[in-house]
Structure 1
Amino acid sequence: MILYNTTFVVEDSVHDEWLPWFKETHINDYLNTKCFLGARLGQITSHAEPGFQTYSIQFFVNDDLTLDQFKNNFLSDIQQKSLEKFATKVLSFSTEMDHLGDFSL
């Protein structure tokens, strides 16, 4: 399994509008592509910058081929929706990780 992680840095000036939109609409834009098995959202509390809130979302995908299909067929349109709504008040970057395991007591 692959974790497709995107970190969002959100200006405080749009945060109260962005977070509900992100949770109610934007995550579904990703999931409705049928490329992902699910997602996990978290707020980054370390490395806080005054005037900004930072979030990380991890989407779970079975394989490289499916992730490539997502990036080639859907990602640009999804990014464009955010850019049209929030311009540069929300910045993001993505990373990909191989899922090696889950551990607990």
Structure 2
Amino acid sequence: MYIYNVTSNIDESIHEDWLKWMREDHIPQMLATGKFSTAKMCKVLVEEEMGGLTYSVQYTTTSKEILEQYYKEDAPRLRQEGLKLFADKMLAFRTELEVVNEY
């Protein structure tokens, strides 16, 4: 199992709009690609020096190949929408995780 993790720092001025967009639009669109089976949104509790609020969204998929398909077929379109809406008020970085054990 693989986790595609997107960590985003959100400026407080757009926080509520971003959260609504994530819940109602972006996460459902990510799941609608058929490449991810679940999504989990977590608020990061460490305060960042740069301010803002930080969230981690973890999308679960079954293989690295499916994740690569997402990058080729869906990522450009889905990332562009967030940039268009929130531009310089959002900073995101992405991490791929491989689940080694689950207890």
- Give the TM bin, normalised by the shorter chain: over 0.9
**Shift >4 Å, 4+ stretches:** none
Tell me which residue corresponds to 1:20: 20
Aligned ranges for residues 1-105 of structure 1 at < 5 Å?
Answer: 1-49=1-49, 51-103=51-103
Take 2:93 and 2:62, find their aligned partners in 1: how far apart are those partners? 21
Structure 1 residues not aligned, in runs of 5+: none
Take 1:29 and 1:49, find their aligned partners in 2: how far apart are those partners? 31
Take 2:97 and 2:47, find their aligned partners in 1: how far apart are those partners? 21
Give the CA deviation at 1:20.
Answer: 1.2
Greater CA drift, 39-48 or 5-14: 39-48
- TM-score, normalised with respect to structure 1: 0.92
Give the CA deviation at 1:50.
Answer: 5.8
Give the CA deviation at 1:9.
Answer: 0.6
Take 1:69 and 1:24, find their aligned partners in 2: how far apart are those partners? 24
Give the CA deviation at 1:80.
Answer: 0.4
The percent of aligned pairs where both chains have the same amino acid is 32
Take 1:91 and 1:71, find their aligned partners in 2: how far apart are those partners? 19
Give the number of aligned pairs: 103
Take 2:10 and 2:47, find their aligned partners in 1: how far apart are those partners? 14
Take 1:101 and 1:57, find their aligned partners in 2: how far apart are those partners? 20
Give the CA deviation at 1:100.
Answer: 1.5
The two structures, once aligned, show a CA RMSD in angstroms of: 1.2
Structure 2 residues not aligned, in runs of 5+: none
